[in-house]
Amino acid sequence: MSPTLLQKATPVLIVERIEPIIPFWEKLGATVTVQVPDGTAADGRLAFIILRHGPIELMYQTLASLREDLVRASTAKEAFRAEWQQSYLYLEVACLADVERALAHERLIMPRRTTFYGSTELGYADPAGNVIVFAEPAAVADTAATPE
């Protein structure tokens, strides 16, 4: 098997609506690079987006779009849970204080803590209810805490 068989992993978070998600990620500097309108919605809703920030890429897809796209095309429909499911996303960051400032008015669900392995973390809920944990690794946290 080739050592480069797997090239990239991009999480796809399933939500009821895409539009409320976008400002959350824009506050962190992410940009929408792809957006697909929901062809069945008369109000111009989005069915799918790709967000990018540096090497990080996230996808959001509506539940309706998932049902229409993947489930309908599948030969094993029972393999899909075509219902909303809460996702958990863990992201390493360079500076946790920057995340706290950017998301000051968002829903903090896990206050800042230091793990047994020395990483400093905190968690927010995105507007769809997914849990996003931001972590500053121990080496970065130690450097940031040391006055020069």
Same domain, 67 and 107: no
The confidence score (pLDDT) of residue 1 equals 67
pLDDT at 10 over 50: yes
* pLDDT tens for each residue of 56-78: 999 999 998 888 887 777 777 77
Q: Are residues 44 and 95 in the same domain?
A: no
Give the residue from 68, 85, 102 where a domain finishes.
85
The pLDDT, as a whole number, for residue 144 is 53
Number of domains in the chain: 2
Q: Coil, strand, or helix at residue 108?
A: strand
Which CATH number belongs to the domain containing residue 98 in this structure? Answer: 3.30.720.110
My answer on whether 90 and 147 are in the same domain is yes
Q: What is the mean pLDDT of residues 108-131?
A: 96
Residue-range definition of the domain harbouring residue 91: 86-148
Question: What proportions of the chain, in percent to the nearest 5, are helix, strand and coil?
Answer: 25, 35, 40
